[in-house]
A and B are shown apart, each in its own frame.
Chain A
Amino acid sequence: MTMFSSRNWREYPQRYRLEASKFKKSGKTYFPPRAVDPETSDTVQEKVVLPDTGKIVTYTVIRTAPGMWADNAPYALAIAELTDGTRLMAQVADCDVNEVKIGMEIRIEFRRIQTESHHGVLSYGYKFVPKWY
């Protein structure tokens, strides 16, 4: 199925610049941004940019991947908790997949994610890399 590139373009603020929403009442940050705070129903928020470092809280290595990911396998996929407590999912690049561990310190980098996506365009976004790299 071909999708228009506007679908990709709409996500640029999040995927390129890590923009998130921080709600006034709870002080909680959500990524991607959302209109309503699930905890307080608050809608008053400010735009913030996520910190670019954190540590891995869980991970897997995808060894058998479908479709467009088949050539990438094996690749590591992880959820990291950033220094402000926000969590997000991304691939872990620039290291041996077998070295990825819970507690590993990471930095977020701007990377190419998909070469021929259903958007029909090159898609960029973020990946985790080891902090020491």
Chain B
Amino acid sequence: MRNVCVVGVGMSKWGEVWRKSLRGLFVDAALEAVKNSGVDHLDSLYVGCMASGPFVSQEHLGALMADYLGMPGLPAMRVESACASGGMAFRLAFLEVAGGFSDIVMASGVEKMTDCSGDDATAALAMAADQEYEVFNGATFPGLYALMATAHMAKYGTTREMLSAIAVKNHKNGAKNPVAQYPFEITMEGVEKSVMIADPLHILDCSPITDGAAAVIVTTEEIAKKLGKPYIKVLGSGVGTDTIQLAQRADMTAIKAATIAAERAFKMAGKTIKDVQFAEVHDCFTIAELVVLESLGIYEKGKAGPAILAGETALDGKFPVNTSGGLKSKGHPVGATGVAQVVEVYKQLTGQAENGRQMPGSPKIGMTQNMGGSGASSVVHILEVT
């Protein structure tokens, strides 16, 4: 297996980007990644996207994006694993370079979510759940995570305050991220007074609907060195899956797919969670960040909430989480999220995080955790700067 690096990242402003189409969002991010990396060609392209069909009636994204990137002829493929599509696209680019099949691959993700009504967008997102046994019975995505939150609160005494602290912390980081959809701070009281979506989750516990794209260039260490640009190394990559239905999981207060994915990524990297200094995790809802931190082994079961309240996961804390602002503040264009997590880790490890968002202490190893649905799929990457 060859050493694989990320050199050059691209991400345009996220939000309700009415002036940009699905392909326009992708092209902006892709051209920026090409420019920042200095590569003169690509050998192949992966496009992570969850639901361009339901959102904008467009499928066949591999060919479409290669065409509009000005590279017709390029091997290109769309990758789908619900909200983990971007992370999976990055993994495939990694595998292709590690295996020696290509030297320079673009991993990208894109989602255009505001060209349809909120109802249609919600229905599209719900396609990640079991249509016949969850959605049929009235389950929504906030509803599924709310079921986890109720169970976690009952089992471990997790409180409203702990969940609010996650949203407040992520907005504090996102306020310093120039591409974030909601770059402003919020208060604990603001979260608790916001409209109730599914008990106990308020609207400010939920990540938004977002238009956005992200792209990174994945290549060999040899080429990365020659390009003379800052680069990071991919130490490990892991994927895990679980039952599609939340009801069928033995423990509804943990995300087993994330645990399995992390075990596999750490095994490949020859590292443990103790070697990692910060993480970008999938906070589609506040409870998701809390459960994931426990499922990854960063905190013991039931211990993440108190640690978050104590500020341990803040930008200047013991273990910063979602320095980008996370899905909550930065936005969640579902197919792009997993790639954007790699963009943030790249920026932190190469000292390029903007506007005072750079975490202290020159971190050497960071990780990403991206997941699909209510946690039926998850992908983890361990990244290092040398």
A residues whose Cβ falls under 8 Å from a Cβ of B: 11, 14, 30, 32, 38, 57-67, 69-70, 72, 75, 77-79, 87-91, 102, 113-114, 123, 125
Q: Is B64 an interface residue (CB 8 A)?
A: no
Q: Is the CB of A60 within 8 A of B119?
A: no
With A79-B252, A87-B247 as known contacts, state yes or no: A66 contacts B150, CB within 8 Å.
no
B residues whose Cβ falls under 8 Å from a Cβ of A: 118-119, 122-123, 132-134, 136-140, 142-143, 146-151, 154, 195-201, 203, 243, 245-248, 252
Contact of B119 among A67, A91, A114 (CB under 8 A): A67
Q: Is the CB of B133 within 8 A of A63?
A: no
Q: Is the CB of A66 within 8 A of B148?
A: no
Contact of A66 among B122, B133, B146, B247 (CB under 8 A): B122
Complex contacts, A64 vs chain B, CB 8 Å: 142, 195-198, 203
Complex contacts, A60 vs chain B, CB 8 Å: 143, 146-147, 149-150, 198-201
Contact of B133 among A32, A57, A59, A69 (CB under 8 A): A32
Contact of A113 among B137, B140, B197, B198 (CB under 8 A): B137
Complex contacts, A72 vs chain B, CB 8 Å: 138
Measured CB to CB, the closest approach of chain B to A84, in angstroms, equals: 14
Q: Is the CB of B147 within 8 A of A58?
A: yes
Q: Which of B138, B150, B243 has the most CB of A within 10 A?
A: B138
Complex contacts, B243 vs chain A, CB 8 Å: 38
Complex contacts, B248 vs chain A, CB 8 Å: 30, 87
Distance between Cα atoms of A102 and B154 in the complex (Å): 8
Q: Is the CB of B132 within 8 A of A32?
A: yes
Which chain A residue has the least Cβ–Cβ distance from B248? A87
Distance between Cα atoms of A51 and B203 in the complex (Å): 37
Q: Is the CB of A77 within 8 A of B151?
A: no
With A77-B137, A90-B137, A114-B136 as known contacts, state yes or no: A63 contacts B147, CB within 8 Å.
no
With A62-B198, A125-B137 as known contacts, state yes or no: A67 contacts B122, CB within 8 Å.
yes
Distance between Cα atoms of A91 and B203 in the complex (Å): 22
Q: Is the CB of A63 within 8 A of B199?
A: yes
Which chain A residue has the least Cβ–Cβ distance from B197? A64
